[in-house]
Amino acid sequence: MEANGVAELKEPLLECSDSDSVAITIPDLDHKKNEKISSIMFRVGGMECASCAVSIESALGKLNGVRSVMVSPLQGQAVIKYVPELINVKTIKEALEDTGFTAEEFPEQDIAVCRLRIKGMACTSCSESVERALQMINGVKKAVVGLTLEEAKVHFDSSVIDTDHIIEAIEDAGFGATLISSGNEGNKVHLKLEGVNNPEDITTIKTSLESTPGVVDVSFDMTEHKVTISYDPDVTGPRSLIKCIEEAGHDPSPFSASLYVPPRQRKEEQLHEIRVFRNQFFVSCLFTVPIFMFSMVLPMLPPYGDWLDYKIHNMLSIGMILSWILCTPVQFVVGRRFYVGSYHALRRKSANMDVLVALGSNAAYFYSVYVVIKSLTSETFEGQEFFETSAMLISFILLGKYLEVVAKGKTSDALEKLTDLAPDSAHLVTLDGDGNVTSEMEINTQLIQKNDIIKIVPGAKVPVDGIVIDGQSHVNESMITGEAIPIAKKLGDKVIGGTMNENGCLLVKATHVGSETALSQIVQLVEAAQLARAPVQKLADQISRIFVPTVVIVAIITWLGWFIPGKLGIFPKHWIPKDMDEFELALQFGISVLVVACPCALGLATPTAVMVASGKGASQGVLIKGGNALEKAHKIKIIVFDKTGTLTIGKPEVVSDVLFSNFPMEEVCDMATAAEANSEHPIAKAVVVHAKRLREKFGSNGESIADVKEFEVHPGAGVGGKVGHRTVLVGNRRLMRSFNVPVGEKVEKYISENEHLARTCVLVAIDGEVAGAFAVTDPVKPEAKRVITFLRSMGISSIMVTGDNLATGSAVAKEIGIETVFAETDPVGKADKIKELQLKGLTVAMVGDGINDSPALAAADVGMAIGAGTDVAIEAADIVLIKSNLEDVVTAIDLSKKTMSRIRLNYVWALGYNILGMPIAAGILYPFTGIRLPPWLAGACMAASSLSVVCSSLLLQSYKKPLEVQHY
């Protein structure tokens, strides 16, 4: 049997991807030249001989900053020592590739990862500016910035730079930054200390903790008397750490520690941001509404507005003075955020929404100030100020931003609901040697340690992942898996943290705590997916880079296009409103163009949809690892399925056994059990269970298992080894042939008969002779046929690739409607088959569950791992189907199609306002219809475009599965 398994989730699903990082050593100081030397290793493809190595060494050796180059053509590796101050990794890699070879960076094992909260980002150009600032820092290997999440994930070499310098670089770029986490946040505990009065006490506690096995890192907050401890949950736990602190104290001044739960920073910051925009909008309205009344309402209601035209001096009226006084706080106090944002944007040689708003509102304001001064100094000047344009523009934009942040907060609702699933407290019990409960106490869920016994009463939530050791009940897992019907749980069954116990009382042994729980992994995976940038986002990024400068140029051209012809009398005078002149009309058109073309909505089109879709997918039992997988899934044309554990239930049973030699059945069973006991493959487990049952039937104790030596796994074929003085092989026909074990006519007949019944034959060879065989059947999943039929209706072909024999594979394929089968395929062969299909130009998905499927999952355009499968398969996959239900293959593809459709619609909303709004704002309709877009209305349109995009993405919350789960 293959070394395939259905092991429990032992590692976090979300592992730091280091595919884009490099192996950088700690810089050494070259004392001769007083310079730091770093080294980097590349995997070089295409080298055939020593001359290839020489050409690479020659090309790289000429680079300024490269100190030495060592190339091994046999290993396909190149090690380069260089001076980081003179040359960077990217330049070295490009120079290497210019020589005609491919270069892949080796993954870095010691790269640190931190997550940062970024403040002050308004649009895509802002997030790009943050990314550029981060990538320019020496020591930063990879940086991803999420606009909607307002977060950055940074991979960096901790020997070159630390988080404080990274935060400084972000602040220098004009944005705020605070550290969310560094390293694995899940296996940390925050404790509040009491009885700590001086630095010596801190030193005592720190020494005690650091000497405790399992403690990884200890950091203190001296002012708040708090300590944060990173630990290995397999070795220690929060309660043990609290006990360690208490034992470090002494009688005159004992120490005590209690759990401290930090506030949810993101939620608090979201609420703060909402309050800030709301308050600024209200303050702006306090001044803007009177200006609007004085400028646009009262003058139309004589005699109530006549007093506004009263001249104070020369042509200066009361209305002008009041408008100026009321507009100034809006322009410079409320609108200060736009000045600050513009300053930082221009300083880093980019332009964003703040630049456009500042340009537009300043043009209106300062022209109005010019009109006021001219009216004060002239007895004949007649000009129209439009302070209301500036004030209303800022007010409408603040309203739009307020509505936008409220709506954006809802895009992460699904993630917050997942986070809230875990209960706050749990009942910890102690058992005596007979399994009786001796004590029970209520503790905080965060204090649970591995191997704790937790009592779960009816109606209570399961606090952590574990195994039932006593009791029976039904557990509702819909909040994790989307499975509507409660699942029966009994002794030995697994339970998932966050699920609801329905009717019975259970005693559960905690097996996974902290970041290892399925719920924690799901949350981490969804967060990573929401932060990742989908390839389709590149379009928006490219547009936004040139968008603002283009808009400014178009606005200037618009102003000149109206002002010059107006002055020259090219268009009729009656086109100009009686309360304006040529300059004012042209200026209003120019300001409207500036404001209506803001690119905010463009930057929100993709990330908001990805956020909602990944959160919705997680709540439906489909974990999507980022925007790349989400985007590729809708292009799938062919799906390759593994058989065992994927199309079949994965719990095979032996349905017949037979002897082919003089060996007694007891000895055949003993040999098979000894060999197969070391394999994790489902078929191996079925053989072991059946063999033990047979031994009991013969009146022997089947519990003792003989030791096997020289054990060897033959992927896709079986296992072998020495049991006592006998050589044993247990596996399929291919294994027997590879070891030249003759397979007689009688054996072939038995195999053929069972293969046509979709059964797998496991042959047991002892000392080069087939001694017996077991026929194993693995029932097909009840939903398999329905899924294959539905995929066909979607225009997607299905293929089965299995390590089993052709007859068994064909029988299963025929039962569920798959026409193409590739049998007796090893793990590498599965990956090769994927690559063959890809060479035909097809987008290929792979669905599998075992270790032997992981190469194919990684090779496929979209890898889908069955959730009950092994950790390796889950790590290699792009999409994880938590429920192990094949119907979620359809769900994943359909959700991808719906999301990409929504993203395209979002681009229509985002670009539609600009494409339609800009010509109208520029006055293209004015000569024919008299319709023009005032600047304040242009601001409202800009706000509406962002709001439309976010609301459009939120409609994905109503997503329904195309196939409802069937229960049998």
Among 98-102, 166-170, 519-523, 525-529, the range scoring the smallest mean pLDDT is 525-529
CA torsion through residues 503, 508, 514, 517, sign: negative
Quick one: fold of 38-106?
A: Alpha-Beta Plaits (3.30.70)
Question: Mean pLDDT, to the nearest integer, of 923-928?
Answer: 84
Domain spanning 113-182, CATH architecture: 2-Layer Sandwich (3.30)
Question: Mean pLDDT, to the nearest integer, of 83-104?
Answer: 81
Question: Mean pLDDT, to the nearest integer, of 873-902?
Answer: 83
CA nearest neighbour of 760 among 736, 733, 796? 733
Q: Check if the beta carbon of residue 14 is closer than 8 Å to that of residue 38.
A: no
CA nearest neighbour of 123 among 956, 910, 919? 910
Spatial separation of the C-alpha atoms in residues 635 and 722, rounded to whole Å: 49
- What are the pLDDT digits (tens) for 106-119? 554 456 788 888 88
- pLDDT band, residue 30 (cuts 50/70/90): very low
Q: Check if the beta carbon of residue 815 is closer than 8 Å to that of residue 758.
A: yes
- What are the pLDDT digits (tens) for 253-264? 688 888 877 766
Per-residue tokens: 200 = 């010596």
Q: b/e per residue, 624-645, with b = 16+ CB within 10 A?
A: bbbbbbbbbbbbbbbbbbbbbb
Q: What is residue 324's three-state secondary structure?
A: helix
Q: Which CATH class is domain 623-648+780-894?
A: alpha beta
**Could you tell me the CA-to-CA distances from 639 to 187, 635, 644, 658, 797 in Å, in that order?**
38, 11, 16, 37, 6
Q: Check if the beta carbon of residue 118 is closer than 8 Å to that of residue 134.
A: no
Question: Mean pLDDT, to the nearest integer, of 420-428?
Answer: 82
Query: What stretches of 794-853 show up as alpha helix (H) in DSSP?
Result: 806-816, 827-839
- What are the pLDDT digits (tens) for 330-340? 999 998 988 88
Spatial separation of the C-alpha atoms in residues 352 and 342, rounded to whole Å: 7
Tell whether the model's pLDDT for residue 185 goes beyond 70. no
Tell whether the model's pLDDT for residue 572 goes beyond 80. yes
Question: Mean pLDDT, to the nearest integer, of 655-659?
Answer: 89
- Residue, of 179 and 701, whose pLDDT is higher: 179
- pLDDT band, residue 782 (cuts 50/70/90): confident
Question: Mean pLDDT, to the nearest integer, of 537-564?
Answer: 79
Tell whether the model's pLDDT for residue 560 goes beyond 50. yes
Q: What is residue 44's three-state secondary structure?
A: strand
Among 429-433, 555-559, 713-717, the range scoring the smallest mean pLDDT is 713-717
Question: Mean pLDDT, to the nearest integer, of 215-224?
Answer: 78
Q: Check if the beta carbon of residue 728 is closer than 8 Å to that of residue 675.
A: yes
- Where does residue 300 rank: exposed (0-12), middle (13-18), buried (19+ CB within 10 A)? exposed
- pLDDT reported for residue 640: 92
- What are the pLDDT digits (tens) for 595-649? 777 666 776 777 778 888 888 888 788 888 777 788 888 889 999 998 877 888 8
- pLDDT band, residue 529 (cuts 50/70/90): low
Strand 653-659: give its sheet, edge to edge.
653-659, 769-777, 759-766, 726-731, 718-723, 708-714
Strands 151-156 and 176-182 come out as unpaired
- What are the pLDDT digits (tens) for 707-733? 888 888 887 788 888 888 889 999 988
Question: Mean pLDDT, to the nearest integer, of 210-219?
Answer: 81
- pLDDT reported for residue 330: 93
- pLDDT band, residue 904 (cuts 50/70/90): confident
Residue 685's DSSP bridge partners are none
Question: Mean pLDDT, to the nearest integer, of 741-753?
Answer: 89
Per-residue tokens: 648 = 């079949």
Tell whether the model's pLDDT for residue 967 goes beyond 50. no
Question: Mean pLDDT, to the nearest integer, of 728-753?
Answer: 89
- pLDDT band, residue 413 (cuts 50/70/90): low
- What are the pLDDT digits (tens) for 359-391? 878 877 887 888 888 888 888 777 677 788 788
- pLDDT reported for residue 525: 66
- CATH tag, 188-262: 3.30.70.100
Spatial separation of the C-alpha atoms in residues 402 and 520, rounded to whole Å: 31
Tell whether the model's pLDDT for residue 15 goes beyond 60. no
Question: How many residues are given for the chain?
Answer: 968
Residue 639's DSSP bridge partners are 798, 845
Tell whether the model's pLDDT for residue 3 goes beyond 70. no
- pLDDT reported for residue 536: 67
- What are the pLDDT digits (tens) for 283-341? 999 999 998 888 777 877 777 777 878 888 888 888 889 989 999 999 999 989 888 88
Tell whether the model's pLDDT for residue 407 goes beyond 80. no
- pLDDT band, residue 49 (cuts 50/70/90): low
Question: Mean pLDDT, to the nearest integer, of 135-155?
Answer: 81
Among 74-78, 100-104, 226-230, 461-465, the range scoring the smallest mean pLDDT is 74-78
Spatial separation of the C-alpha atoms in residues 337 and 397, rounded to whole Å: 12
Strands 437-444 and 425-431 come out as antiparallel
Write the CB contacts of 415 (distance below 8 Å, at least 6 apart in sequence).
Answer: 523, 526, 527, 530, 615, 618
**Could you tell me the CA-to-CA distances from 156 to 110, 143, 147, 315 in Å, in that order?**
9, 9, 21, 64
User: What is the percent of the chain with per-residue pLDDT over 90, rounded to a whole number?
Assistant: 8
**Could you tell me the CA-to-CA distances from 373 to 318, 367, 388, 594, 824 in Å, in that order?**
13, 10, 17, 26, 90
Tell whether the model's pLDDT for residue 537 goes beyond 80. no
- Which amino acid belongs to residue 614? S
Question: How many C-beta neighbours within 10 Å does residue 440 have?
Answer: 11
Residue 430's DSSP bridge partners are 439
Spatial separation of the C-alpha atoms in residues 747 and 713, rounded to whole Å: 23
Token look-up 């200390």 returns 193
Tell whether the model's pLDDT for residue 73 goes beyond 70. no
- pLDDT reported for residue 364: 77
Question: Mean pLDDT, to the nearest integer, of 581-602?
Answer: 77
- pLDDT reported for residue 10: 38
Spatial separation of the C-alpha atoms in residues 269 and 145, rounded to whole Å: 17
Domain spanning 434-513, CATH architecture: Distorted Sandwich (2.70)
Question: How many C-beta neighbours within 10 Å does residue 160 have?
Answer: 18
Q: Which segment, 547-551, 593-597, 765-769, 829-833, is predicted with the most confidence on average?
A: 765-769
Spatial separation of the C-alpha atoms in residues 504 and 463, rounded to whole Å: 16
- pLDDT reported for residue 876: 65
Spatial separation of the C-alpha atoms in residues 161 and 139, rounded to whole Å: 6
Tell whether the model's pLDDT for residue 131 goes beyond 60. yes
CA nearest neighbour of 942 among 543, 547, 587, 597? 597
Question: Mean pLDDT, to the nearest integer, of 19-24?
Answer: 34
Q: Check if the beta carbon of residue 193 is closer than 8 Å to that of residue 255.
A: yes
- End-to-end alpha-carbon separation of the chain, Å? 30
Four-way CATH pick for 653-777: 3.40.50.2300, 2.60.40.1580, 2.40.160.10, 3.40.1110.10: 3.40.1110.10
- What are the pLDDT digits (tens) for 806-844? 877 888 888 889 988 888 887 778 888 888 888 888 889
Token look-up 């463009």 returns 602
Write the CB contacts of 573 (distance below 8 Å, at least 6 apart in sequence).
Answer: none
Tell whether the model's pLDDT for residue 423 goes beyond 50. yes
Write the CB contacts of 411 (distance below 8 Å, at least 6 apart in sequence).
Answer: 148, 608, 611, 612, 615, 950, 953, 954
- Which amino acid belongs to residue 853? D
Question: Mean pLDDT, to the nearest integer, of 940-965?
Answer: 79
**pTM for the model:** 0.63
Question: Mean pLDDT, to the nearest integer, of 272-281?
Answer: 88
- pLDDT band, residue 23 (cuts 50/70/90): very low
Q: Check if the beta carbon of residue 834 is closer than 8 Å to that of residue 628.
A: no
Q: Which segment, 399-413, 460-474, 543-557, is predicted with the most confidence on average?
A: 460-474
- Where does residue 96 rank: exposed (0-12), middle (13-18), buried (19+ CB within 10 A)? buried
DSSP string computed for 185-237: GGGEEEEEEES--SHHHHHHHHHHHHTSTTEEEEEEETTTTEEEEEE-TTT--
